[in-house]
Amino acid sequence: MPEIPRKRLHTGEDGLARCWWCVTDPIYVDYHDREWGFPVCDDVRLFEKLCLEGFQAGLSWLTILRKRENFRQAFRRFDFHKVARFNRRSVDRLLEDPGIVRHRGKIEAAIGNARRAVEIVDRFGSLAKFLWQFEPKITRRPNPFLPKSPASTALSRALKERGWRFVGPTTVHAFMQAMGMINDHVIGCSVRAKVEAARASFVRPC
């Protein structure tokens, strides 16, 4: 996320107030309004977001959003059972793909993480069940603008212990925000209440 300004809400031409960070591009606005913060329990979507957050490290999330469809094509729609079968030839193919972020370490991490995701499913029944157990108990963090939290630190540690890479506490915190494990839409944002309602009706995987 960009640096936090004093004015944390922005009112668009449609009259709706939104979090400050999404107003630089229509793609960002759509992502903010339709996806960010709404709870997700689909294993493939959760794996995709963890991978893309890893690729985002050192870049802007808008850069990744603009390439997201290319990533989906390159990584078999992020079906981690398929990605887990990628090999050295697959890595070489991906390094030649101009539609994605061509970083060998991140590509190899995504493939390795797919294999670790399969292991989690075999042990816990679903990736969602494993990840959602780290949802913090409070609905509003004391300081929602910190780049990590105790919950993201705990999840990061648990993933790393299972061999995942590019899943530091800040990366994982952004993942938890996006997948609805916390509602960090700014108070006054027109989407905050919608996310809160979605979280209230969401059936946690168990």
Residue 19 gets which letter from DSSP?
Answer: E
Q: Which two tokens stand for residue 44?
A: 């493939």
132 catalytic? Reply is: no
Identified catalytic residue from 21, 36, 48, 53: 53
3 is catalytic: no
User: CB–CB of 156/171 below 8 Å?
Assistant: yes
Q: H or E segment at 10?
A: strand 9-11
Tell me which of 31, 35, 108, 196 is the catalytic residue: 31
**How many CB atoms within 10 Å of residue 194?**
16
Q: d(Cα 197, Cα 202) in Å, to the nearest integer? A: 9
Query: Annotated catalytic residue: which of 20, 28, 36, 61?
Result: 61
Would you tell me how many other CB atoms lie within 10 Å of the CB of residue 116?
20
CA angle, corner 158, sides to 126 and 90, nearest 5? 65
161 in catalytic set:
no
- Residues with a catalytic annotation lie at 31, 53, 61
